[in-house]
Amino acid sequence: MAQKKSSDVGNILSFRILIDPKGNLVTELSYLPEEDAHKVFDGDDLVIVQKILQEGHSKLDKMHEHLEAELDAFR
């Protein structure tokens, strides 16, 4: 993939565990919707990004749901 300038950087897939201003632990899963990937990428880059999104979702969605359920049990 071609390197982009820092101003052209965008999130493809991310998972974070944060502490909000009230001291609560929260999880955050954000991603480029797969149906919009073709608006930003094409060719081999599009194939790679789609694979990253598919694999990321298969792992991170479960972890996100599990941690949110565990955190909700403490609230």
Give yes or no for a contact between 13 and 21, defined as CB atoms under 8 angstroms apart: no
Q: Look at residue 52 and give its three-state secondary structure.
A: helix
- Note the pLDDT of residue 23: 87
- Note the pLDDT of residue 5: 54
- Please give the chain's pLDDT, 75 residues, in tens: 555 555 678 899 999 999 999 988 889 999 999 999 999 999 999 999 999 999 999 999 999 999 989 888 877
Give yes or no for a contact between 27 and 64, defined as CB atoms under 8 angstroms apart: yes
- Note the pLDDT of residue 6: 53
| Distance from C-alpha of 26 to C-alpha of 72, rounded to nearest angstrom | 9
Q: How far is CA 41 from CA 18, 45, 50, 69, 74, in A?
A: 30, 6, 10, 35, 41
- Note the pLDDT of residue 57: 92
Question: Structural domain boundaries of the chain?
Answer: 33-75
- Note the pLDDT of residue 24: 84
